[in-house]
Amino acid sequence: MSDLIDVLTSTGLRTGETISRKEAHRLGKYHRAIHLYLFNSKKEILLQKRASTVDQDPDVFTISVLGHVDAGEFSSATVKREVEEELGIDTSQLKFDFLFSFFQEAFVSETYIERQFSDVYVAYADLDLDFIKFDHSEVSEIKFVPFESFLEMVSDKSSGLAPVYKDECRDLVYFLGKSSVGKVRA
């Protein structure tokens, strides 16, 4: 894992500048991350509860996997790296489908400004939660929930889900419903 990420233009292109993730957020620099929605054949989505020690959204549930794209890295490599780092899952048997990119800007605090392009991916796997060896420094719990329940969590501010997925999920539902990507694989 690199300590540096690429600074992007307001349209998502690399500027040639690299800085630390912490500095990118402190300065409000544009950068790229990945969001992975991992489903099983029951149409349940894997959620992770973030550890209390992480700098954004501690102790709340988020999507299956998320992470920053390292300097010089492509998001397709990042999604595999993050699945292995956060969940300890061998990605050689998984197929990741890129769905879309999504830009989000949020002023979390004086020292944490999010200007992030998120490349959104989906994958399918029937995983036994007992065999997932997640990184306890980043994740405190994992669970599968029905996708319909997840969508309810997105619109309920008291659900314990990080509040950043509402707009992204609108497009996620569209893409899953309109493409062959949304067909759960056996």
The predicted-structure confidence for 101-116, as pLDDT tens digits, reads as follows 999 998 888 998 999 9
Q: Answer yes or no: is 51 within a domain.
A: yes
Predicted pLDDT at 178: 62
Q: Which of 120, 123, 67, 75 is nearest to 98 (CA)?
A: 120
Within a 13 Å sphere around the CA of 138, how many CA atoms are in the beta-carbon half? 18
Q: What is the pTM of this model?
A: 0.90
Which CATH number belongs to the domain containing residue 113 in this structure? 3.90.79.10
Residue 174 belongs to a domain: yes
* Structural domain includes residue 186: no
Number of domains observed in the structure of the chain: 1
The reply to whether 32 falls in a domain is: yes
Query: Alpha-carbon distance 15 to 26, whole Å?
Result: 18
Write the burial class of residue 163 (CB in 10 Å: 0-12 exposed, 13-18 middle, 19+ buried): exposed
Within a domain: residue 27? yes
Which residues of the chain fall below pLDDT 50?
A: 180-181, 184-186
For residue 167, being part of any structural domain is answered with yes
Q: Return the structure tokens found at 105.
A: 């800007």
76 falls within a domain: yes
In terms of residue numbers, what domain contains 61? 4-181
